[in-house]
Each structure stands twice: as C-alpha cells, then as structure tokens.
Structure 1
Amino acid sequence: MAATEIPGTVPGSPRISDATLRDSAHMAGVEFGPKDAAAIASLLVRTGVELVEVGMVSGPDSKDADLVLATHEEIGPERSMTLVVVRDRRQVATALDEAARLGVRHIMYSIPTSEQHAALKLGSSSAKFLTALARSAITQAKERGFHVTFSGEDGARTPAERLVPYVSAGFEAGADRFRLAETVAQLSPWQMEEVIGRLTALDGAEIEIHSHHMLGMAVANSLAAVRAGARWISATVGGIGERGGNAPLAELLTALRVMHGDTRFDLTHLTELSRLALRGAGLGDAFQSGPTTPHAFAYELPGQLSNPEAYETLPAELVGNQRELRVRRRLTPALVRWALADSGIDVDVDAFTPWLTERQERAGGPLLDRDAIRKAAVDFQPA
C-alpha cells in the first residue's frame, strides 16, 4: 500500500545515505585514498546527506581501515556507516571486533538473501539457516551497542515468502533498519513499489532502498520505494558503483527538488562532488552507467568472474560487451588463475601472485586486466 502523499514533497521526505566510498570503492580497479575519502565525505555532509557509507570489514586488519578512520576524522563516526560482511557466526565476532577497534558506531550487515547468493556465499540456501545467522549477527552487534542496518543482498530477486519472514525476524532481533539491495537490477518502479510495500507493512519497519542502475531505473525505483513507505535512499556520487552503477546522487536530489519541491539539500556542491569522485576513482571526467560501458561487466572478485549469472541482470554477450578482470592491489591467486585460464602459460601461481603484487606496489598500483597479468606471467622469473 502506498503512503499518503504530502503536497510538495515525496511522501515521508526520504533521508539520504551515500555509498560512494563503499560500493564505488569496490568497483573493479577503483581504490579511493584517505584524502579523497575525507574530501568526499565532507562535501556529502555539506550537501545534506545524513549518512556516509565507507569501507568494508570482514575481520582483523581491514584493507579499508584507513578510509574509515579518515572519514571519522573528517565528519565523525556518527555520520559514518561501515559494511560488515556476514558469512558465519565466528567470522561476525571477529569483524565486529575490528569495527569496534576502528571506532565504528553504525554498521550495515551484508547478508545474501536469494537462494542463489546464499548458496554461493553462505554455503546453504536454507531460509532457516539464513534467518538464524541474521538473528545471531544482529544480536551480537546490538549487545555491543552498534546501530544496525541489515541487508537483503540480492533482495530484489528474493521471493516474498522468503524475504518477508527474514526481514521480520531481523527487526525482532533488534535491528534498526533494513536495506533492500537491488543487487541485480530487474524491477520496474511499479514492481519495486509492490516489493517495498510488503516490507513497510511490517510493524515499525524502517526500510532503505539501494538500487543499481543497469536498466537506467535506479532513481525511479528509489522514488517508487519511497512512495511505498521506504524512509531511506542509498545513492552514490555520479552513480558510480559496481557493474551498471547505482542511483546517481545528483539526479536523485534534483528530481526531489524539481518534482517534489524538496529544498532540504544544498545542490551547489554536486558538480564539485562528481568531479572529485570521478578523479579519485580514475574514471576521467565523465561516468556513463548502463550495460555497454567498459566497467559494466568488470570484476575484481573471483566469485563474480566464476559465477557471473549471480550478479548480472543480462549477460555481457547479449549487448556485445565482454566480461573482464580489472584490479589494482586486491590481487589473489584465484584471480590470477582466472586470468591465465586457457592461455597456455605455465607459472607457479602461488609464487607469481606475491611477486606481481610487490611489483604493483612499487609501480603505484597501475590497473591490471587479463592481458596485463598474462604479460607479467611471461616475464616472471622466480627467485
């Protein structure tokens, strides 16, 4: 059921969180530095964004620790949120230890809800196991005093009979907010309104929408979610983000201003924000979203390269594009094996990977793709 419309505003006047320093920082080959993180976070807060999502932790010695700390120093931990990966109960405990060490106050649990993603990442597609894991993770975090948002990763493809009980159980365990992640873009605005309406019908449920832009409807779907009662929208500067990108912040805020008379946000920072973020991401002066861009099917995680059907709205080949590896410093043996598959190059991957990683560090982290890794493997001379 749609919320009652208030003249001159979107129903409920949505609050905005920004995932540029988390989702975009995990685009293939994109790595923001602490200086970029601090500058982007400052401008986001001055624009009126309430929560800046930065970094990801899954255990001790997080690679994103410097980003998290730089953002905290610039805008304070109360305006920041950090993603915590959920894989099993023991891993959650060590990840929460790391979040506490970094001074994090707001966490967002990444929990795969569709059968396909749960089977890939949790080792089980069982709805009972999924709910038990979420309950445990949420309870642990609340006992430590964290503000907790829990997600439905790939939630847009999760059937209602599986998703709604999961969301209900999460709130019963004490969670503060639920984020529906349209990880694989596939919903129309009217379908999004129906999906979100089922969740906002739950008593006391605070819902956030995180939509991807592969079909060009992330802003429309975000506004449709608000019509159905969602109270938060997650966006990114310039729409940059994994695969086809995310709901672009500038388009979202200007749509709220033009179509709904929403004047809460200072739009004068948007152009500077976009240019700063694009420079920091190494994307040049402009960013194009959608399925035909070079980054639309680029990955830096072996699971995405090995199981693309779990992440792609449509296959790369359908639009004449191709799947590619792009990585800077997050090189792993699994990525190297994927890059060398069917190349005829015989190399000791376990010795070659640290050698190439060290060479990357000395060179300042140039972008590596499959061809660059293969060329380096030919040049490799073990000690």
Structure 2
Amino acid sequence: MADLPLRPELVGEEPYGAPQLDVPHRLNVNENPYPPGPAVLADVARAVSEAGAGLNRYPDREAWELRADLARYLGHGLGPENVWAANGSNEVMTHLLQAFGGPGRSVLSFTPGYSMYPEYARNTHTAYLTAPRRADFTLDAATVERAVAEHRPDVVLITTPNNPTGTSTPLDVVEAALRAADGLVVVDEAYQEFARDGTPSALTLLTDHPRLVVSRTMSKAFALAGGRLGYLAAAPAVVDACRIVRLPYHLSAVTQAVARVALAHAEEMLAQVDALRRERDALVGWLAGRGLEVAESDANFVLFGRFADRHAVWQGLLARGVLIRETGPDGWLRVSAGTPAEMAAFRAALTEVAAEQTLPGWRPPAPHDPGEPT
C-alpha cells in the first residue's frame, strides 16, 4: 500500500477480526454453539427458494415486513417505524455515526469496551472519546455524568451487557446519561437475551426518551451469526436519519427472508439461551474456584484473569485445540459459553496449561469432583 494515496489514519492499520482457526473447540467470538434445528432449516430453504425466484429484482429497500416482525418480537408498543435493520449490528452502528457523528463531532464510550467502536468512529470521521469504567467494570451514574460533562459528546455509547466484560448497566445510569447528554444515547444490547432474570432492558425507556437508541443483534441468542442481521429500536426520526445514510438495497432479499424465518421460530431459536446461561454461571464458579479473577457476566461469555503472560495461556489452550479470545485489559482472557462438551474441553485444557506453566495462585480442581475434568 506504500504507493497508494491511502487516508493517513489508515496507514499501518490492520483489518479487524478475531482469529478464524480450524480447531475442535472455537470459543472466541461469542457464537451460539447450537445450530438451527431441522424445522427451521426446512423453512429457511423454502424461504430462500421463494426469494431466489425474484433475485433478478432489487429487494425491498425498506425491509418493511422484516422491521414489522422485529417490532413484534421486541414488544413495548413498537411498530416498524421504530425499527431499523442492517447487515449486522456493525452496520447499524455505522449508520448511527454517519447520521449523528462525522467531522467535528464525537462519540463517547466507556472502557474496556467493544474493540470495533473506535473503528466505527474512525471510518465515519467521528472523534472517539473514552472514559474508564470502575475497577469491577461496572458503570454508575456519577461516572457517566462526569464524562459527559467533560467531553460534551454528540453520541454517548453504553454497552450492556458489556463486551468484553459481560457487565450489565442499571437503567438509572442510562437515565443519567439521557439527562446529561445533549445528543444521542445509544444502548448496545447485543447480549441482552443472555442477561440474568430481572435484568431490565433500555427498551422500557424508549417512549419517554426520543434521543435514546437501543441496538440489538440476531447473531448471538438467535444463533444467526451467519445471517448477518442487526437492528435498532428508536423514535421514527432516528430511523429516518439512518434511512438517509444507508446504501441502496443494503439488505439482500435472502437476508430478509432468512431473518423473518428465524423470528417466526423465535421460541425454538432461543431455546438454548437458558442452557448457555447455566454453562456461563457454572464457568464463573469454576474459574473463581481455581483462584482466578472473574468478571460478573450477564452475557454468553466470561472474562477471567489475571495472568502475567496471557498470550502464553492463550497459546497453551490453542495447542490443546481450544480457541478463546485474547482481548480486554492486560492480563485477562475471554471465553465463550459453549456446549457441555466444549466447556469440559476448556476446563481440562486450562487445568493442563496451569500445571504446565505453574500459574501463580492456581488451585487445582479436586479429582473426580462433579463437573471437573477427569
């Protein structure tokens, strides 16, 4: 690229992406490990075939029927005019910053946070500002209010449950952000379906707050990562702003058809969420029992540490066929909740790595205890 007239801020940058490696146990990108069942797949095949008959025509560029289905799924009195859908939550966030960020404007996020946020900002020429979370990775109203008062951002971005920590943010903190901010407040709820019972959604605040946006995805709980469908709920004026900046026909007819089938089968598609919650909670307990620090999680992953050389631990797990994510604050690693077999493989591999590397503070599992590797 040295001879190309590349934008200066892109010089030396690498494309985003977690490692995609062919290993027995992939627990690094928070996918739902349970694929759609036969009934869903049959309906997907039928819907794709029907969409295929019209592939010579452009798709519905407003995705109106899909947005109506998404509104019904979300409830809270929402209609299709309150919902916007795009090619994954990545494109949803990009549309928001194209419309409400841009040159001379800023977005404020709270770290540690999702590693794509600064890239959304960079790609839309929006200044990326951050404020630190508390030591336990939580957010409180005072922290948010101070950060907003200091930076006066055009967009405030709160992730709950947070990636990579799994931490939820109470609604009073979101309300504090709405009171303090002059611009948009975006609540990224990509992992909301995995939250523990009683964890409220910012969707309950939408009616009274026209500058609030709640972003979701079908990639995680719906096991539709390959379908690439993200969406937001907001006031119709916010949706209309996204319509201005979207590219024409940004959602293919096939994508719309597959997403609508998944929503029609929502109960079945979400059937494994409770199982993944149980695996997550068991994993938190097991890791804490080994003497590790573990972040409290409402997502389908767990952040744990701390390691003097986290890369060595990551590499040791990979050598045993277990791929997790080297992300978050220094010394921490993140593992996705998987099937019971995948979790057993992770526990066994980490136990071997800990013995091999003599990890400080590690407490070996008692042999033959229930749930322990044997």
TM-score (norm 2): 0.38
TM-score (norm 1): 0.37
- Relative to its length, the structure with more helix (as a share) is 1
Structure with the greater relative contact order (CA < 8 A, sep ≥ 6): 1 or 2?
A: 2
